[in-house]
Amino acid sequence: MRIHHIHQPFDVLLVTVDECPIKEHKNTFIELVYMFDGTGTYHINQNEFRYQKENLFLAMPMDLHYTKVKETTAFMFIRFNNIYLNAQKARDEYSNLGDWIHKLEYIFHNNNHLQGCILRNQHDKPLVRALMEAIRQEYANRQTLHKELVQQLLNTLLTVVARNITTHIPEKTQLAQNTSLDIIHYIHQNIYNPDLLRAERIASHFNISLNYLSEYFKKHTHETLQQYIINYKIALVEIRLKHSDMRINEIAAELGFTDDSHLIKTFRKHRGMSPLEYRREALVLV
């Protein structure tokens, strides 16, 4: 079993093949796989999906995957790691690059529910094709500032990926009403602002009573509002422990815990181990 690494923030690989040269493997980075044309099967974590032109697949770190080519296929592999993602945490109020890490966390949290090609919204396929063609041209011509332009194109691409995943979360959560999904989106968008996550603020935002909010949310998600918020925060803590070198106090401050002791206590309660123990175990698996 081969495990692949990249030693730069991101890279793009373009290949046209009759047989995929990379056999069954795992990556320590995130990979988007796009097919400009061709047919075959994409295998990931014991699942097999037929692919055709304009399909897009997502492989998360340590997913087991490989491709079998039936008809000559032009692939684009877009690969990026936590070095690149951490660099996108822009704090300038006029910059949207900081949204990169938030969108990616959203994908991390829901990636287990992806089935096959990411692009479920047919209207997004021409947009993604245009983005991929633009990236391909930039890499072929390599004009001045081509890396910076590719970065902006990737940012747009990831936004489209997040939108397609968002569209199909109801299949995973089995939500019966759009409002409960809207509340979940609100929580994801404001997870870094504890004041906006108070039940009173959420009820006011959706113009519903506090009691009804609690009953409604639990009915459709099978979790209380606070349970959902804590579980989501713990999932984000796990991402940082696995894929960054952030200190515990830095993670605690970013996610609105009182201090590092509060984070450690909460994490141990939900995961049965300390954050540092979890990080050590994650490194052993890599």
- Which tens digit of pLDDT belongs to each residue from 164-180? 876 665 444 443 445 66
Angle subtended at Cα 22 by Cα 17 and Cα 23, rounded to the nearest 5 degrees:
120
- Read off φ and ψ for residue 90, nearest 5 degrees: -70, 140
Specify which of 103-107, 110-114, 234-238 reaches the highest per-range mean pLDDT: 234-238
Q: If 0-12 CB within 10 Å is exposed, 13-18 middle and 19+ buried, where does residue 71 land?
A: exposed
**What are the tokens at 239?**
């991402």
Q: Which residues are paired to 65 by β-bridges?
A: 25, 44
- The percentage of the chain sitting over the pLDDT mark of 90, rounded to a whole number, equals 37
Distances (CA, A) of 2 to 22, 37, 61, 63: 9, 27, 13, 12
Q: What is the pLDDT of residue 177?
A: 45
Which CATH superfamily groups domain 172-285? Homeodomain-like (1.10.10.60)
Higher-confidence residue of 94 and 278: namely 278
More confident residue, 259 or 106: 259
Give per-residue pLDDT as tens, 113-133: 456 898 988 899 999 999 999
3 membership: H or E segment, kind and range: strand 2-4
In terms of DSSP bridges, do strands 55-59 and 30-44 run parallel, antiparallel, or are they unpaired?
Answer: antiparallel
Query: 180: closest CA among 211, 207, 210, 218?
Result: 218
pLDDT digits (tens, 9 = 90+) for 224-236: 999 989 988 998 8
CATH superfamily of 2-169: Regulatory protein AraC (2.60.120.280)
* Section 17-46 average pLDDT: 89
Q: Which amino acid is at 285?
A: L
3-state secondary structure 135-190: HHHHHHHCCCCHHHHHHHHHHHHHHHHHHHHHHCHHHHHCCCCHHHHHHHHHHHHC
244 vs 28: CA distance, rounded Å: 12
Average pLDDT of every residue of the chain: 82
All structural domains of the chain with their residue ranges:
2-169, 172-285
Does the pLDDT value for residue 9 go beyond 90?
no
Query: Which pLDDT band holds residue 275 (cuts at 50, 70, 90)?
Result: very high
pLDDT at 84: 60
Interval 128-155: pLDDT, tens: 999 999 999 998 888 888 878 888 898 8
User: Mean pLDDT throughout 26-35?
Assistant: 88
pLDDT reported for residue 204: 92
Residues, the chain, total?
286
The alpha carbon dihedral of 228, 234, 239, 245 has a sign of positive
Tell me the pLDDT band of 54, cut-offs 50, 70 and 90.
Answer: very high
Q: What is the pLDDT of residue 147?
A: 79
Its pTM surpasses 0.85: no
